[in-house]
Homo-oligomer: A and B are copies of this chain.
């Protein structure tokens, strides 16, 4: 798709006419809806809640209809102001991303190359639309991988004593490279609440089928409990470790014949698939966080 488009995400208390009013806004402004989907969660604690994703072709922004509808000046900021006013009237939260504003993704790793290779290769194959301006690690192990793809690699070792300072350096790198999304691709460090407050969105891959097997060594836990499936979970990182909103999960079958290392091998394939699906969904602006849950439209 080479068209210029904008993706709007909306979450609002359910009320009559939402689909019509949101779709009508764009129609009235001469802007075509390329793709739309919506969901009403009847079980939300705060009452029924409405979620919608609208992907809008911006070509119509230069039409007289748009100029008239948006108050004489059919610019992106006029569009945002006008849509914002509608959302205020609907008590809706909303966000917006333009397709020509390519997301910048920072990958944080430690020593395991599987997820790193997977993400970079998908980006190169055009499967996930983003730039990867940098890779950050607390170990030098994967520098060669970064170099083979000509991606700047920053090695920032960390100890208990230097953790605060190292996180400050990571944050500075994220800011300097205008990073929109941080992906923890088997980054074996727990991020502080301070870091998470200052950082952009952070997606983590947990090598367990959450909420089972939280914490360390999930494959050893899985072996010793004798489960017949192992899984992986991609979730937004929050201050509560392994408790963030889940974006995607999957599992693979294991048998009594597999030890912890075999489970880790099988699980590694699941981790890569799950992480890449979650990153792709996020970059396509399909994910809305709703409390401890996500809506993936």
Contact = CB atoms under 8 A, between A and B. Distances in A.
A216 interface: no
A292 to B, nearest CB: 6
Interface stretch (A14-22, A72-80, A81-89, A99-107): A14-22
A141 interface: no
Interface string A33-47: 111111111110000
Contacts of A294: 226, 256
Number of this chain's copies in the complex: 4
A42 B251 contact: no
Interface of A is mostly: mixed
A21 B248 CA distance: 34
A228 interface: yes
A21 B148 CA distance: 51
Contacts of A161: none
B248 A228 contact: yes
Q: How large is the interface on A (under 10, 10 to 19, 20 to 34, 35 or more residues)?
A: 35 or more
Contacts of A223: 43
B40 A16 contact: no
Interface string A6-35: 000000000011111101101110001111
23 contacts: A19-B27, A20-B27, A21-B27, A34-B40, A39-B256, A114-B125, A117-B121, A127-B265, A209-B209, A209-B229, A211-B213, A225-B246, A225-B293, A226-B246, A226-B293, A228-B247, A228-B248, A228-B249, A229-B231, A256-B290, A256-B295, A256-B296, A269-B273
Given A42-B259, A127-B265, 12 more contacts: A20-B24, A23-B23, A37-B37, A43-B223, A209-B209, A209-B212, A209-B229, A211-B225, A227-B246, A228-B248, A228-B249, A251-B251
